[in-house]
Structure 1
Amino acid sequence: MEQHTGLRARKKNATWDLLKTTALAMFEERGYENVSVAEIAAAAEVSKATVFNYFPSKEDLVIGGMKQHTGDAARIVRERPVGQTPHDALREHFLHLLERHAPQVGMSDSPLFLQIQRLLIATPVLMISAMDYRRRSSIELSEELMAEGYSQLTSRLVGAQLLHTQYILVELNVRRMLNGDPIEDIRRQAFAAAHHAFGLLENGIGDLMRRDTEPPAPDASYTPDGCRVDYEPGGSEAREAAERVLNDTENELLQDLTDPRR
């Protein structure tokens, strides 16, 4: 029975790997939005239903793993020991993940991880989904803080600052990985950046970057409220829309209407 279960698990893992690697290769070659789930199924020689059995949506083939981590920050804060702040708990966990070269902090140099990161950067719709997962993480963290009795405003501000700091650190690590920098250099820089970033959160930024030179003259093209002087509500948007339509060479109806021979 155990052998059967083990064999079944290995077959499932093999199918999962096949579908993911097939999809990522096709996405990277042709672009995420230019590949259908049906084409992935055909290339992997499985049914479309099989793909959805393993990956509930097309985007899950790329960033489905992010779903498993949206509650990490809230859990770390919820389980922190007496006397520890959310800031200290998340800093400690982040440094722990750096030590382990974990993909959650952008420290993996595996080809699969780097392939996914390249796709994310190149595909706006995937980046938007990734940003939504981050939004959910922030909501879960702020809800955990509110459950401890803190106000909604304070909870949301603290949660947003802590998590956005981590996202910036992760992005820097990923960029260095994609650039092919030596892993030990990345590791050293990642630790230094993390200590600096969490230090700013701990000590505040109120006295940082105080200007010591005269500012440039105010931009005369903007009003005191920050609006462009020549802005016409709806006007610029309408012109841009019209230009997009007129420049659409594949719109046969438009071409017929604008044909000078008519």
Structure 2
Amino acid sequence: MAEPLGLRERKKQRTRQVISDTALRLFLSRSFDDVSIVEIAEAAEVSKRTLFAYFPTKEDLVLDRFADHEDEAARVVRARPAGTGPLTALHAHELDALSRRDPVTGLTSDPEAVDFARLLSSTPSLAERLMRYEGRGIAALAEALEEAGADELTARIAAVQIVSVLRTLARRNSAQVQNGRPADEVYPEAVAATDRAFLLLGTGLAGALPS
């Protein structure tokens, strides 16, 4: 059981959250490029130095919200029940996330989450940084797959494919919602797409592509 955080750590967490929430509110109300670091610091009532102590770059103020998901696929593989294959565990995890309308799947009608996804897709510097985030997720998953018994090359290739598939599914779902369709309406299609994607991951593309 984890030790409870001390007062100092709790204060630091609250400060970090206030800065992150303030930045996102400003970005969503205007745009990423139109909001300065100075404005964010003033609105969050912290110094510019304090802000940079928590978030070294402006992009970190947005992508910090992905921090908990960066190695999520790797954690799922490591935590899978005995006798369950990595793909089976990841497939089940994705279906569960869809059923919960987890924003990371892109399947959510929560207005702030939809605006957040739009912010990511419309800001080149954020899209570029998101690719780095995905790269770290691939590395973490490849390591977990090696631990599970895959050789280095297989683990790397599989990790690239799995992370790319998950992001493609999320972007597909998000695009549908951003176009005005309710998440509940998109849900059956999202499940079918997920099932299809994991089938292709498991069986390969040779029989699915035209000859």
Question: Same-fold call, TM > 0.5?
Answer: yes
Matching residue of 1:192: 192
SS at match of 2:33: helix
**Match of 2:65, as an amino acid?**
G
Q: What amino acid sits opposite 1:96 in the alignment? A: D
**Could you tell me the percent identity over the aligned residues?**
39
Structure number with higher relative contact order (C-alpha < 8 Å, ≥ 6 residues apart):
2
CA distance in 1, matches of 2:55, 2:151: 38
Over 3 Å counting, the alpha-carbon distance change for 1:125 and 1:97 in structure 2 is same
Aligned to 1:83: 83
Write the distance in 1 (CA, Å) between the matches of 2:148 and 2:203.
23
Q: 2:123 maps to which residue?
A: 123
Deviation at 1:30, TM superposition (A): 5.1
Contact 1:66 1:130 in 2 (8 A): no
Match for residue 61 of structure 1? 61
Residue 18 of structure 1, CA deviation? 5.2
CA offsets 1:125-144 (integer angstroms, 9 cap, x no match): 11111111111111111112
Partners of 2:104 and 2:97 lie apart in 1 by 7
Deviates more, 1:184-193 or 1:12-21: 12-21
1:73 equivalent in alignment to 2:73: yes
Structure-to-structure mapping, 1:10-159, within 5 angstroms:
19-28=19-28, 31-52=31-52, 55-159=55-159
Deviation at 1:148, TM superposition (A): 3.2
Give the structure 2 partner of residue 163 of structure 1.
Answer: 163
1:177 equivalent in structure 2: 177
In structure 1, the residue matched to 2:202 is 202
Question: Take 1:25 and 1:132, find their aligned partners in 2: how far apart are those partners?
Answer: 24
Q: Which residue of 2 aligns with 1:217?
A: none
Aligned CA distance change for structure 1 residues 113 and 100 (closer, same or farther; 3 Å): same
Q: Tell me the alpha carbon deviations over residues 25-62 of structure 1, each in whole angstroms, 9 at most, x when there is no partner.
A: 44345542343211212244443244345545422321
Distance 1:13 1:136, change over 3 A: closer
Between 147-156 and 55-64, the greater mean CA deviation after superposition? 55-64
The question of whether the paired residues in 2 share the 8 Å contact of 1:55 and 1:61 is answered with: yes
Tell me which structure has the larger Cα radius of gyration.
Answer: 1
Change (3 A) 1:54 1:112: farther
Tell me how far 1:107 sits from its aligned partner. Answer: 1.9
Report the alpha carbon displacement of residue 72 of structure 1 after superposing the two structures with TM: 1.1
Q: Is the 8 A contact 1:121 1:127 kept in 2?
A: yes
Q: Secondary structure at the match of 1:32?
A: coil
The residue type equivalent to 1:126 in the other structure is L
Does the CA contact (< 8 Å) of 1:63 and 1:116 recur in 2? no
Q: 1:146 to 1:15 in 2, by over 3 A?
A: closer
CA contact (8 A) 2:107 2:173 kept: yes
Distance 2:137 2:193 in 1: 22
CA drift of 1:85 comes to 1.3
Superimposed CA distance per residue, residues 77-118 of structure 1 (whole angstroms, 9 cap, x where no aligned partner): 112122221111100100011111111211222222122211
For the aligned residue pairs, the C-alpha RMSD in angstroms reads: 2.7
Q: Which amino acid aligns with 1:153?
A: L
Counterpart AA for 1:143: E
- CA 1:14/1:85 → structure 2, altered by over 3 Å: closer, same or farther? closer
Alignment size in residue pairs: 206
Counterparts of 1:25 and 1:141, CA distance in 2: 32
Give 1:201 shift.
Answer: 1.5
